[in-house]
A and B are shown apart, each in its own frame.
Chain A
Amino acid sequence: MERSKKKVLLFYCVEAEDLARKVAAQSNLIQLQSINWRNFADGFPNLFIKNAHDIRGQHVAFLGSFSSPSVIFEQLSVIYALPMLFCASFSVVLPFFPTGSFERIEEEGDVATAFTLARMLSNTPISRGGPTSLVIYDIHALQERFYFGDSILPVFESGIPLLKERLQQLPESDKIVVAFPDDGAWKRFHKLLDHFPMVICNKVREGDKRIVRIKEGNPAGCHVVIVDDLVQSGGTLIECQKVLAAQGAAKVSAYVTHGVFPKKSWERFVHKNDNGKAFAHFWISDSCPLTVEAITGKAPFEVLSLARSISDALQI
């Protein structure tokens, strides 16, 4: 028995406008709404949700993007306000959950900022439709799903299905090998990719240095696609690519769901005349809109959009 589909009013933050439009284009049932994002002279937000009365009794969603700490407060104000406007249900789509790589307390005194962010989101008011749903793609650490309190319903999605679709379009689709830069990535993704042969790398200590080695698998003669959830400086990917090439990989590509690339570190991967083409393809999703803007049209980057996946998630 199929559940009937529901109409969803989709609000969005300024930086995610392009993705919001793509999501709305996927379905007639998704309607874009708008918010006035202004600031007072003291720097604090001056926000107005347009047509707030129309929200009553409707399913409402907010597409957020926490690309830096300074945009969190204004978006959180909207996230806390929307469920209190008598909507029938409320969902927050936060494709990339930042702070995720700093979630462990190794030493007492470490401050796990992922806990802070999870706590702030868990405190979203309950709406008429019950706890808010929170859609996140490829959260960094699997344990983070337990950071969220009971009054929020996290929905953990993945960008890997998009990668699989894309790989099937490649000519050498029968000679693709998936490589993981470490055990963490393998744990996160191997089940979604288990019909591909795999290579697992790891970092081994040699004296003072840490060197990337291949732990299992054989890349020789294949198109190897390194898969991870996110990329920051890109150092790990570059070292893996070198080792894979040295072990005979015919081509090396990369996929990450979240192209964080702080301080324009994506420049290390752009095809330039002198550095040849270390990476044949570099696929990222559109979870990090500021990066998408920067790398559009620059080989080897290709953006795989989450729009269809998000529009399906909104029907949950």
Chain B
Amino acid sequence: MSAISPPQSLPSFSSKSPSKTLTPTPNSTRSCNRIHCELKKSSAAPQKWTIDCVSSTDPIHIILKPPNSALLPSPMDSSLKNSKRVCLFYCSEMRDLAERIASESDAIELRSITWRTFADGFPNLFISNAQGVRGQHVAFLASFSSPGVIFEQLSIVYALPRLFVSSFTLILPFFPTGTSERMEDEGDVATAFTLARILSNIPISMGGPASLVIFDIHALQERFYFGDNVLPCFESGIPLLLNRLQSLPDSDNITIAFPDDGAWKRFHKQLQHFPMVVCAKVREGDQRIVRIKEGDPKGRHVVIVDDLVQSGGTLIECQKVLAKHGATKISAYVTHGIFPNKSWQRFNHDKGGNPENGMAYFWITDSCPETVKQVKNKPPFEVISLSAAIASALHI
């Protein structure tokens, strides 16, 4: 994807460019320049995708945001709901997403925290203008990208509800440890249980239990790990994917593939109107091989869907099997691009005709900010922002 420097060149979303109009509308009151892009296809109503260039942090940073009408309530509802002002605090690594969320709505106001460290390594934190949150709805946008950052953010999460706020919401787009939630052997330590317990212990505020917003939690059972004093709110990034798929020129040739039954269980209901392929890992002697269990990818643009990606091994094996069975284009979507140790580097861009070696698109959301920084402007990666979904979750 070409870099964007308003108002000159245009990004191209697909190889067959529909006609586009570009209206740069730099907004001087906010930190991002917003460029509205209209994609006209012969068969569908024009879709307005927004591209944000967040100039305060990165000069060029392309984040796709779906048309507002898809996710936010209708104008009449929103005028009532917009009267709920929300003070949004955030951890340092989530600053970009926080700014995008605040730009979604006048009712969301960014607040700041001073994050320092004492000499012994423990946090020295100060919430600016703490008295100003009394009687306000308050939210904190967290990111537990590693165990080391949990304690400082948790200190804020435990402190904010006790500042006489009228409600408290914790937004944790990606809930880590989710893959280690089973105890198969007595002695396994399910760290997902530890994290859920820590979050369940958020103090109650004047508005009752804290709300906890999580996107695409790994295991469906994990919703029961949370105690009575928090109200988990499980959201999904799949509606954002749906929007994006509908704007593709070959949207009528898309088939969804799931790498395993777990992914199918999690997502098939939200993707019902697409044909599906389900893969499975089958044991052959010592090896485990990916096979297609159901469905036919032949001649299709197949989009592999899962909640998260770590090393990428599973996705690559699925890709090979799908290509072998005749998929003409292969893309992937994961809500959470964890990619430890830069494993995203394994994914090549297929510019056309080469589905066994590259992907046409690899969509991730901005739930994992460190990855977003690394993959921006690197095809096949495209980042779809959760900001609109989070902004509307804050108005519940």
Contacts and interface: CB of A to CB of B under 8 A. Distances in A.
A108 B311 CA distance: 44
Interface stretch (B192-200, B212-220, B259-267, B378-386): B192-200
The interface residues of chain A, by DSSP majority, are classed as mixed
Interface string A33-47: 000000011111111
A116 interface: yes
A116 B122 contact: no
Contacts, number: 144
A276 interface: no
Given A68-B121, A113-B125, A81 B154 contact: no
A120 B194 CA distance: 10
Nearest to A68: B121
Interface stretch (A12-20, A50-58, A167-175, A180-188): A50-58
Contact of B159 (A42, A67, A111, A262): A111
A13 B154 CA distance: 22
B147 A111 contact: no
A116 B155 contact: yes
Interface stretch (A70-78, A87-95, A194-202, A303-311): A70-78
Interface in B118-155: 118-131, 145-152, 154-155
Interface in A86-116: 98-99, 102, 107-113, 115-116
B228 to A, nearest CB: 13
B120 A116 contact: no
A297 interface: no
B187 A74 contact: no
Given A48-B189, A49-B189, A98-B120, A73 B194 contact: yes
A42 B148 contact: no
Nearest to B156: A111
A315 interface: no
A176 to B, nearest CB: 30
A26 to B, nearest CB: 27
Given A49-B189, A116-B151, A43 B123 contact: no
A47 B197 CA distance: 17
B177 interface: yes
A53 B129 CA distance: 52
Interface in B136-195: 145-152, 154-156, 158-159, 163, 176-177, 179-180, 185-191, 193-195
Given A102-B122, A102-B124, A109-B128, A45 B191 contact: yes
Given A45-B147, A116-B155, 6 more contacts: A46-B180, A69-B122, A77-B189, A98-B120, A112-B159, A262-B121
The 4 closest A-B pairs by CB, nearest first: A70-B148, A52-B187, A109-B130, A73-B147
5 contacts: A44-B146, A70-B148, A80-B197, A116-B159, A119-B158
